[in-house]
Structure 1
Amino acid sequence: MKKYLLTFALGFVSLTSFAQSTYEKIMIEKIAKLETCKSVDDFQVLANDFDRIGKKEVKEWLPSYYAAFAYIQKGRLLMRDGKMTELSAQANIAEKYLDQAETIAGKDNSEIHLLKKMVFSLKMMENPAERYMTDGMKAMEELKLAEKLDPTNPRVTLIQAEDTYFTPEQYGGSKVKGLEQFKTALEKFNAFKPKTTLDPNWGKGEAEYFLSLDSKK
């Protein structure tokens, strides 16, 4: 009887390990695609993929996190193309996924709070004059919390650099200061090691891009 129980236990462990490795394999494949997406449709397809993964892996927070990130990136592309009236819709969907991720991961997750910052920034950009004191303030609060929870998080410094770089000088921005922050972000990226192969590790290429622009002057 003990032999059968042992065989069953080993079989169960093997099945669990196989399921876990399949999940990791799929996630690695989808996460890699975040770097190659070039269009709104690309990010939408990827967001749908992460949504399906999350519905199967209900105990994992990262599928919901990456679904939110895909919607945020989709919104940033729409903003680049001047489609400002569509930003809140994308941000609201991303926020829903972040709430799901937070339910699983807990409230003390720097990466989730950083994406919440980006969500509120998207909402604000739909109408900055009206929403700065609401969504703009919430974005700042989320960024401060993300930094407090993990001061070594290079993505926090990256988004701070973006804000500084693109904010007009009359409102406290500075391209010079922004570039200094991009340098700091890159230093943090070079020292950063994600906890697992699936944990957030995006952003280094963006810091390098802005610094390369400066070097060409």
Structure 2
Amino acid sequence: MKKYLLSFALAFVSLTAFAQADYDKIMSDKIAKIETCKTPEDFQTLANDFQRIGSKESSKWLPAYYAAFSTIQKGRVMMRNGNTQALDGVADEAEKYLATAQNLAGADNAEIRLLKKMSYSLRMMVNPQQRYMTDGARATEEMNTAEKLEPDNPRIALIKAEDVYFTPEQFGGSKTKGLEMFKDALAKFNAYKPKTALDPNWGRAEAEYFISQPVK
């Protein structure tokens, strides 16, 4: 009987190892596609892919995190294209995924808090003047929480640099100061080590891009 139990245990461990390896490969392939997405449709397709992975791997927070990130990136492309009136719906979708990710990972996760900040920022852009004190304040609160949780996180430094770079000077922004902050973010990227190969590691290319641009 002990022999059969041992055989069953070994078989279970082997199946679990294969399943983990398969999950790691699928996730790695999908994460790599983030860099190649260009259009809202590209990001929506990727978000759907991560959502399907998450439905099969219901105990893991990263599929929901990346579904949220892909959705937020979709919204950021829409914002750059001037399609701001649809951003509430995009934020709704992202925040649904973030609720799942936070439920699995816990509230003290700086990466999730940063995406919540980015989602509230999308909402604010629907009507910045009216929403600065509501969604803008929520975005600031989430950013502050993320920074307290993980002050050396380069993605936090990156998004702070974006905020300063793109905010008009009359409202406290500065392209020159933003550029220096992008340099600080890049230094943090150089020192940063993700916890696993699947953990968030996006943003370096964006910091490098802005640093390479002349200040106008």
Instruction: Give the TM-score range, shorter chain.
Output: over 0.9
Q: Deviations over 1:22-42 (max 9, x none)?
A: 011000000000000011110
What residue is the counterpart of 1:42 in the other structure?
A: 42
Q: Deviations over 1:14-61 (max 9, x none)?
A: 000000110110000000000000111100100000000000000000
What residue is the counterpart of 1:178 in the other structure?
A: 178
Q: Deviations over 1:101-128 (max 9, x none)?
A: 0000000000000000000000000100
Superposition pairs of residues 179-198 of structure 1, within 5 angstroms:
179-198=179-198
What residue is the counterpart of 1:157 in the other structure?
A: 157
Structure 1 residue 214: deviation in Å?
3.0
Superposition pairs of residues 57-76 of structure 1, within 5 angstroms:
57-76=57-76
Letter in structure 1 aligned against 2:110: S
What residue is the counterpart of 1:93 in the other structure?
A: 93
What residue is the counterpart of 1:82 in the other structure?
A: 82
Percent of pairs with identical residues: 67
Letter in structure 2 aligned against 1:113: R
Letter in structure 2 aligned against 1:130: Q
Q: Deviations over 1:149-175 (max 9, x none)?
A: 000100000000000000011111111
Letter in structure 2 aligned against 1:164: V
What residue is the counterpart of 1:205 in the other structure?
A: 205
CA distance in 1, matches of 2:169, 2:205: 25
What residue is the counterpart of 1:51 in the other structure?
A: 51
What residue is the counterpart of 1:169 in the other structure?
A: 169
CA distance in 1, matches of 2:209, 2:105: 31
What residue is the counterpart of 1:129 in the other structure?
A: 129
Q: Deviations over 1:148-203 (max 9, x none)?
A: 00001000000000000000111111111101100000000001110001000000
What residue is the counterpart of 1:14 in the other structure?
A: 14
Q: Deviations over 1:82-104 (max 9, x none)?
A: 01101111011000100000000
Alignment TM-score, normalising by the size of structure 1: 0.98
CA distance in 2, matches of 1:44, 1:67: 9
Letter in structure 2 aligned against 1:105: A
Superposition pairs of residues 25-40 of structure 1, within 5 angstroms:
25-40=25-40
Structure 1 residue 2: deviation in Å?
1.5
CA distance in 2, matches of 1:119, 1:40: 15
CA distance in 2, matches of 1:46, 1:67: 7
What residue is the counterpart of 2:146 in the other structure?
A: 146
Q: CA RMSD in A?
A: 0.9
Answer yes or no: is 1:112 the counterpart of 2:117: no
CA distance in 1, matches of 2:167, 2:158: 14
**Number of positions where the alignment pairs a residue of Structure 1 with one of Structure 2:** 216
Structure 1 residue 3: deviation in Å?
1.5
CA distance in 2, matches of 1:196, 1:155: 16
